[in-house]
Amino acid sequence: MSAVNETLIRDIVDEILGRIGSPSSATPAPAAASKPDCGCQHRTASPASGQFGVFQDASQACEAAAAAFVKLQRGGIAARQKVIEIVKTMAESNAAEWGRIELEETKIGRLDHKIEKLLGIKGIPGVEWLRPYGMSGDHGITLEEYTPFGVIGAITPSTHSIPTLSGNIVNMVAAGNAVVFNAHPSASRCAALAIRAYNQAIQREIGIQNLCCIIEQPTLDSFKALCASEHVRLLCVTGGPGVVKAAMQAGKRAICAGPGNPPVLVDDTACMQRAATSIIKGAAYDNNLLCIGEKEVFALDKIADQLMSEMEKNGAVRLNSAQLDRLTKAAFTFKEGHGGGCAEASVNKDFIGKDPAVLAQAAGVNIPGNTQLLFAETDGKHPFVIEEQMMPFIPVVRVKSVEEGIVEAKEAEHNYKHTAIIHSHDVEHMTAMARALDTTLFIKNGPCMAGLGAGGEGYLSFSIATPTGEGVTNPKTFARVRRCVMVDNLRIY
Ligand code: NAD
């Protein structure tokens, strides 16, 4: 008997025993059986079957997800649609509470934006995206269909834990898959809370257990076990360079939503007020935790002062060079470089995603309570330009020409091919930058989030597959295209 069938049978036995009021384990321990009835009908799942998708052990989670995948297959498109409806409705109705819980656990970002990100889940594409492609001709008809992989192993970041897992579930289940998550350890309690709630509702509504599972205490070992599981057919990782590298070495197909360091170029044809408000909106969002968020600005020398003065008028506070020095020393640690004599900077985690007031204190400056963002002039080699710093501060670098700006922007982007932004009304400048940086998202005359449907055309995802090239992930990303051919018949003319 295969492992899948064993799990399936155990689940069915569990469910039947649960309904008739027996302990959920198929082989209850005598001590449990003799306990007085506490009214819960002993329906707490055994560790082996997980508690509404929350597992201690990665291989058990993968096994349970494999059994759920088979059930989802039987439930057809209607079951997938129901799961998506549940996730979208619950993300919206719990947005305020889950946003608060995620912020309390991670201590990074802003409550208003944590809530807004969860409210955005309802816009994520579902089964409607999977339209089969038909071909018809003298030799009959052929249909190409989007079919599931099975179980997907997914890794989520600390920066948007519940939003990423919720969006992943919508896309992955739309394509018919089950999923097992290994969340970031510093955002794993809130992730498990959402998974438990989703599974409770899924089980209640369509009778499928453990469709989206999670490892309660994620570790590198549970990541390795997830990657090694025979049930996991595909990996989807959302995070920085370390996890992208690890996933690519896992020996399975991996969809990698990797790091960014998005540069912004502002030329002398741009509307300065629009450029300034867009930069502030994007870079201040969730205290600059977005991978697509503006991280450094290259401004033509002749408009740099005007741009910075517009930034000051619109909620950003400028630091002088002494204040910048103090902030830099606090926000980075410097260790001996590998040759060349320059020290290497690494970001001080205590400042990631913190409020502008925390940065201002380190810089030694008093700021108004409604300050969105801090900024200062730097050169192009400054750690705030080079490192993906994820804090509500943005460096502004003067450049003499658009060409120089494009070269510096490309260097700062590190060839991550993630996101770049230009403010310009010159189509040749736009084209030159788009071609040179070769990024997955390229936004013109708007804040970064316009690239994900917020203020620009398009749809949302919290996993933008950059090094592996799938782009803004959607249900098709998680589907196998299979072809079904009828030879010489069924064409109606
Ligand atoms: P992180 O890289 O520290 O962690 C991301 C996930 O990977 C976590 O679950 C973590 O536990 C795991 N992880 C990290 N190193 C690992 C390793 N060596 N082996 C196995 N697992 C490992 O990133 P973070 O701080 O949580 O998130 C911020 C980073 O993620 C930034 O670089 C940001 O640009 C990127 N990000 C990218 C996207 C995208 O769509 N491209 C979306 C969100 C975040």
353 lines ligand 1 (CB under 6 A): no
* Percent over 90 (pLDDT), the chain: 87
Model confidence at 335, in pLDDT bands (50, 70, 90)?
A: confident
User: How far, in Å, CA of 240 to CA of 184, rounded?
Assistant: 11
Each residue's pLDDT tens digit, 276-331: 999 999 999 999 999 999 999 999 999 999 999 999 999 999 999 999 999 999 99
Per-residue model confidence (pLDDT) at position 340: 58
Compute the distance from residue 98 Cα to the ligand 1 centre, in Å.
Answer: 21
Q: How far apart are CA 169 and CA 173, in angstroms?
A: 6
Q: What is the CB-side half-sphere exposure of residue 131 using CA atoms within 13 A?
A: 6
Give the Å distance between the CA of 129 and the centre of ligand 1: 27
Q: Is the model's pLDDT at 28 over the cut of 60?
A: no
The answer, yes or no, to whether any atom of ligand 1 lies below 6 A from the CB of 175, is no
The answer on pLDDT for 339 being more than 60 is no
Q: Is residue 451 in contact with ligand 1, taking CB distance under 6 Å? A: no
- Mean pLDDT over the full length of the chain: 91
CB of residue 259 inside a 6 A radius of ligand 1:
yes
* CA 352 / ligand 1 centre spacing (Å): 14
Q: Whose CA is nearest to atom 14 of ligand 1?
A: 243
Environment class of 415 (CB within 10 Å of its CB; exposed 0-12, middle 13-18, buried 19+):
exposed
- Is the CB of 448 within 6 Å of ligand 1? no
- Residue of 108, 117, 158, 470 with the most ligand 1 atoms within 8 Å of its CB, for mutation: 158
Ligand 1 pocket check for 467: Cβ under 6 Å? no
Task: Please state, for a pLDDT cut of 70, what percent of the chain lies above it.
Answer: 89
- Which atom from ligand 1 is nearest to the alpha carbon of 258? 41
Of residues 458, 467, 478, the one with CA closest to residue 439: 467
- Whether 342 has a pLDDT exceeding 80, the answer reads no
335, 287 contact by CB (below 8 A): no
Ligand 1, residue 388: give the atom nearest the CA: 32
User: Each residue of 398-456: pLDDT tens digit?
Assistant: 999 999 999 999 999 999 999 999 999 999 999 999 999 999 999 999 999 999 999 99
Cβ neighbours of residue 454 under 8 Å, at least 6 residues apart?
120, 460
pLDDT single digits (tens) 171-204: 999 999 999 999 999 999 999 999 999 999 999 9
- Asked if pLDDT for residue 31 goes beyond 80, the answer is no
Any ligand 1 atom below 6 A from CB of 220 = yes
Count how many Cα atoms sit within 13 Å of the Cα of residue 176 in the half-sphere of its side chain.
18
Q: 356-406 pLDDT, tens per residue?
A: 999 999 999 999 999 999 999 999 999 999 999 999 999 999 999 999 999
214 lines ligand 1 (CB under 6 A): no
Task: Give the number of other CB atoms < 10 A from CB of residue 428.
Answer: 9
Site of tokens 């306990």: 35
Is the beta carbon of 109 within 6 A of some atom in ligand 1? Answer: no
Interval 227-247: pLDDT, tens: 999 999 999 999 999 999 999
Pocket flag, ligand 1, residue 244 (CB < 6 Å): no
Q: What is the pLDDT averaged over residues 248-260?
A: 97
Is the dihedral angle over the CA atoms 215, 219, 222, 226 positive or is it negative?
positive
Q: What is the pLDDT of residues 145-180, one digit of tens each?
A: 999 999 999 999 999 999 999 999 999 999 999 999
Name the residue of 243, 350, 448 whose CB sits within 8 Å of the most ligand 1 atoms, as the mutation to test its pocket: 243
pLDDT of residue 26: 31
CA of 428 to the centre of ligand 1 (A): 35
